[in-house]
């Protein structure tokens, strides 16, 4: 609470003073991160050989993870009955990509959820597209890329930048200064990616059109291609779950509610593969 008041006071200072204060705060933050990394190195958990260990941020409120790509992986493992372990940290990221989630398998690091699945399919000898036709694989990949490379960025903009209520930030008691700096970083990323060059109204429209296309194709089917879920369902569910339950004060929740079959789909995926959903939700993101 005291730190929050200090950083809020810094935010009200002139720009030149904020720059100095920001540098000092950055130095302090790096010191904390360094100490955290040292502690992790000296307390590294040892797993039996061939154990699948997924590193991600901690469990979140409303959803088991605030990154849809971790939900994608865990849902797939649950669907296929593949044993796995999770390690949670807000600071540890892939050495190769500086992102999460990433896989550690027999001391080998594999980043990116899609590359993780491809790597494990070879190591564990399972077919990622079991039971699917070539046409379905093509359609599935198209919808997966749409949601992960387009809808996802609309969602990121909505939750972390455009939401004027700042509910997402307030949920984690983020101070005004840290929020200001973090939003600034995200705006730059979104602008470089392209989504940030649009108005809030246009971003909402893009998200809605993506969900409309998915809704049209899903129709009355239980899952993307019928009565049995597949890898593409896991990827799409990761994105939709975040929009459905973790948009906080953003427009995502209201947009997806325009498509009742997508809401039903989310509930169906949750009930089928996450019977322990409520147990996997943690407000403090540390489990």
Residue 215 in domain: yes
End residue of a domain, out of 77, 101, 124: 124
CATH code, 179: 1.20.1050.10
End residue of a domain, out of 90, 124, 158: 124
Mean local confidence (pLDDT), 164-190: 93
Domain that residue 151 falls in: 134-273
138 shares a domain with 119: no
Residue 263 in domain: yes
End residue of a domain, out of 97, 124, 151: 124
Three-class DSSP labels, the chain: CHHHHHHHHHHCCCHHHHHHHHHHHHHHHHHHHHHHHHHHHHCCCCCCCCCCEEEECCCCCCCCCCCHHHHHHHHHHHHHCCCCEEEECCCCCCCCCCCCCEEEECCEEEECHHHHHHHHHHHCCCCCCCCCCHHHHHHHHHHHHHHHHHHHHHHHHHHHHHCCCCHHHHHCCCCHHHHHHHHHHHHHHHHHHCHHHCCHHHHHHHHHHHHHHHHHHHCCCCECCECCCCHHHHHHHHHHHHHHHCCCCCCHHHHHCCCHHHHHHHHHHHHHHCCCHHHHCCCCCCC
In the chain, how many domains are there? 2
139 shares a domain with 259: yes
Q: What is the pTM of this model?
A: 0.85
Q: What is the pLDDT of residues 187-233, one digit of tens each?
A: 999 999 999 999 999 999 999 999 999 999 999 999 999 999 999 99
Residue 71 in domain: yes
Tell me what percent of the residues of the chain surpass a pLDDT of 70: 83
pLDDT band at 27 (very low <50, low <70, confident <90, very high): very low
Q: What is the pLDDT of residue 283?
A: 57
Residue 38 has pLDDT above 50, yes or no: no
Residue 87 has pLDDT above 80, yes or no: yes
Q: What is the pLDDT of residue 91?
A: 83
């Amino acid at each position: 609470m005291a730190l929050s008041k200090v950083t809020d006071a810094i935010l009200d200072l002139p720009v030149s003073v904020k720059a100095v204060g920001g540098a000092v705060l950055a130095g302090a933050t790096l010191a904390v991160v360094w100490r955290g990394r040292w502690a992790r190195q000296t307390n590294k958990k040892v797993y039996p050989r061939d154990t699948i260990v997924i590193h991600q941020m901690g469990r979140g409120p409303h959803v088991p993870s605030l990154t849809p790509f971790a939900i994608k992986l865990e849902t797939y493992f649950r669907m296929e009955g593949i044993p796995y372990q999770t390690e949670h940290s807000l600071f540890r990221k892939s050495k190769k990509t500086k992102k999460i989630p990433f896989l550690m398998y027999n001391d080998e690091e594999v980043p990116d959820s899609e590359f993780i699945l491809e790597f494990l399919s070879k190591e564990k000898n399972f077919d990622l597209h079991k039971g699917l036709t070539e046409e379905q694989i093509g359609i599935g990949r198209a919808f997966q890329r749409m949601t992960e490379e387009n809808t996802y960025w609309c969602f990121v903009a909505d939750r972390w930048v455009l939401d004027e209520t700042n509910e997402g930030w307030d949920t984690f008691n983020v101070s005004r200064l840290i929020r200001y700096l973090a939003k600034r970083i995200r705006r730059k990323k979104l602008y470089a990616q392209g989504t940030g060059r649009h108005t809030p109204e246009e971003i909402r429209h893009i998200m809605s059109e993506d969900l409309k296309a998915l809704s049209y194709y899903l129709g009355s089917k239980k899952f993307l291609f019928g009565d049995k879920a597949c890898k593409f369902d896991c990827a799409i569910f990761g994105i939709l779950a975040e929009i459905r339950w973790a948009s906080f004060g953003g427009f995502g929740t209201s947009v997806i509610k325009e498509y009742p079959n997508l809401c039903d789909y989310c509930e169906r995926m949750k009930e089928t593969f996450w019977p322990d959903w409520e147990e996997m939700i943690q407000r403090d993101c540390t489990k």
